[in-house]
Structure 1
Amino acid sequence: MYSPPINIDDLIHQSEENHLYFKLIEQTNKDFALANEVIDIPLDVFPLHFKECIQEKVYKLIQNKFAEYLNLLYIIDVSENEIKKLDGSDISELSEQVTFLILKREWQKVWFRNKF
């Protein structure tokens, strides 16, 4: 049964436990490429570095390429309602929260594709 992750550590743990960590990286790379924001994360990346790569990219997009950031969220299909709930006063904090929402959505896709 699918249980939504409560944080990034939980999400990574679930992906590893289900032997889908590599699929999560592949899906993330694919969706970033579809949004023309190639991130190219290697499959052998450690979970902490995986999260940091995405967060750094999100931070740069928010700061320098906001339209592309919105397009990325659209391509990945991150919930607009969840994004609206976030406090945007601290870009660093915002990028961390958005990274979790992105990975949560990517994990849903991978999990459902594997299950059904």
Structure 2
Amino acid sequence: MNFIAPNTIDSLFSQAETEMLYSKLINQLNKDFNLANESIDIPEATAAEDVKAILHEKIYRLIQYKFAEYLNLLYIIDVSEEEVKKLDGSDISILSGQVSFLILKREWQKVWFRNKL
């Protein structure tokens, strides 16, 4: 059984719901944000669209106002530095959406492996 990374946030959430791991994904997000001292406290029952919006806003604010904490968060979550460097940083709003997806992909990978292997 191989892990196949989703191409979009929507397909990621769909896969998590299909495999009944959505709540574990939310818990993993909360856990890692807390480890980085940047709490987001998303309830497990939060809709995928709302999670996407909360995460996007949080990343936007970190990039804009707390860049060192943003870098620490990426380190704690273990987001690929190579993937982040490939992103175009000219528009912070677009960048924060792309980084949100990278974060979700990494968190989904952790949850999936923990529950499948």
TM-score over 0.5 for the alignment? Answer: yes
Match of 1:99 in 2: 100
- The code of the aligned residue for 2:109 comes to Q
TM-score, normalised via structure 1 length: 0.99
Amino acid at match of 1:31: D
Would you identify which runs of 4 or more consecutive aligned residues in structure 1 move more than 4 Å? none
1:40 match: 41
Q: Which residues of structure 2 form unaligned runs of 5+?
A: none
Matched, 1:26 2:32: no
For residues 42-100 of structure 1, the C-alpha deviation after alignment (integer angstroms, 9 at most, x for no partner) is 11100000111011000000000000000000000000000000000000000000000
Do residues 17 (structure 1) and 21 (structure 2) align? no
> Where in structure 1 are there 5+ consecutive unaligned residues?
none
User: Counterpart of 2:50?
Assistant: 49
State the match for 2:72 in structure 1: 71
> How far apart, in 1, do the equivalents of 2:59 and 2:86 lie?
17
Q: % of aligned pairs identical?
A: 66
Coordinate RMSD, CA, aligned: 0.5
Counterparts of 2:12 and 2:27, CA distance in 1: 15
Task: Please report the TM-score for the alignment, with normalisation by the length of structure 2.
Answer: 0.98
Question: 2 CA distance for matches of 1:44 and 1:11?
Answer: 16
Paired residue total: 116
- Tell me which amino acid in the other structure corresponds to 1:6: N
